Amino acid sequence: MADTDYPASWYAATRDSSPDRASPSGRIEADVAVVGGGFAGLHTARLLAMRGRRVVLVERRRIGWGASGRNGGFVSAGFAARSGALIDRLGIDHARRLYAQSQRGVAIVRAALEELGRPDIRMGSGKLTVSRTDQGTGFADRTRALATKLGASFEPWDTPRARALIDSERYHQAIHDPQAFHIHPLNLALALAGDIEQRGGAVHERTEATGLERQGAAWRLRLSNRESGGEISAPHIVLAGNADLGRVQPRIARAVLPVATYVAVTAKLGPKLAEVLRWTGAISDTRRAGDYYRIVDGDRLLWGGRITTDTHEPPRLRDMMRSDILAVYPTLGEVGIDYAWPGIMGYAPHMMPQIGEIEPGLWVCSAFGGHGVAQTAAGADALAAAIAGEDDRYKLFQPFGTGWAGGPLGRIATQLVYWKLQASDWWDETRQAKNAEKLRT
């Protein structure tokens, strides 16, 4: 269905109907107030409502309006920071526990679909992470060794096995994660919001948090909307936004960089799609700013890629995305693009989420950096357990603080890093192609 309340996308065009949730007025008493109607806020509110807490969630636009309703829809373990880098920084035991928490996030999303009675939101199973360069004879052993260290389920596939399902000379070996799956993210967000309400929680849209102050044993969260203002008094506040939290918590806003990526959905491609792609799970490549994609609606490609700190939509976005698709699958020929849109992610410089307690009763669950459908659930699970007094798993994320992200200069520095990494990826592929050509001649 079309809906001018949401940015134009295939997800918005195929979303479930949902009520227009009114803004609150006056003073509300709650156990927990959650700021942000994306996955981080929705999972936190739902998990707390399941524990019997009085929860109020406020969202300044619509539920799932931001990155949570526009992403690639991949549900898989791990984080934006690479596992090897986490092992080097934290040691194997800490990195393994972090990975286990991300696996818990995958399990929470899977269980939520069952509990909500919405198996239709799940659109496919499995994920392949494919390499654009030949990883050599030690690839399988390295992959199995890393999986053993992390307690992971992924496994190596050699090039012939990968190309049997993905017919592209761009790709070589792959890592297969059988526990991953992919979903319609906007419909999941809407279903989570409805379930929060069914469990006695309150969800308010078009309501912006504009101020926060301590009042005795509670926090006072000031609100504004199109008609009036209001406030929530609660001993616990969870900030589940990103750089848009400037009015309520500048510290968090300054610690997050808004970074754009792009997604397109093709026209229906018919039988020619099955000629090149016989894998119905999710696919991404190993480049630093690589492609990620999957089949949707039977014979369409949902294709994402590119990373930039320029959050404006490019004027020729559809042409850019078509070019990226044909660079991998040139035999598709004419490819129509029916939808194309940008998504703004929150990145911290350390590429890990910011999860924890800033001050007594003031919590943050933010900055999932383009790898957040399962990881938001993992972070919400850790915070909900802490707020309920069950355990302190949120401390797994303490090494990744909320330091300043650099403001405009940070965006410039980050963009320079991305360009450097992209150039490195290009050079690796080019050098390997030239070497292969020499061997053939």
Q: What is the pLDDT of residues 37-52, one digit of tens each?
A: 999 999 999 999 999 9
Q: Which amino acid appears at position 39 of this protein?
A: F
Tokens of 206: 């078009």
Q: Which of 207, 179, 9 is nearest to 109 (CA)?
A: 179
Averaged pLDDT of the chain: 88
Query: For 139-163, what is each residue's pLDDT tens digit?
Result: 999 999 999 999 999 999 999 999 9
Coil/strand/helix, residue 262: strand
- What pLDDT is recorded for position 25? 83
CB 231 within 8 A of CB 222: yes
Tokens of 421: 């990494």
Tokens of 299: 């014979």
Residue 330: which residues within 8 A CB-CB, separation 6 or more?
Answer: none
Per DSSP bridges, beta strands 155-157 and 122-130 are unpaired
The total number of residues shown for the chain amounts to 441
Tokens of 183: 């979903």
Dist CA 181 CA 188 (whole Å) = 13
- What pLDDT is recorded for position 425? 57
- What pLDDT is recorded for position 431? 60
Q: What DSSP designation does 395 have?
A: G
- What pLDDT is recorded for position 307? 73
CB 227 within 8 A of CB 22: no
Segments in the chain below pLDDT 70: 1-4, 226-228, 242-256, 288, 308-311, 347, 402-441
Tokens of 297: 């609606």
Residue 410: which residues within 8 A CB-CB, separation 6 or more?
Answer: 257, 349, 404
Dist CA 175 CA 197 (whole Å) = 39
Coil/strand/helix, residue 212: strand
CB atoms within 10 A of CB 198: 11
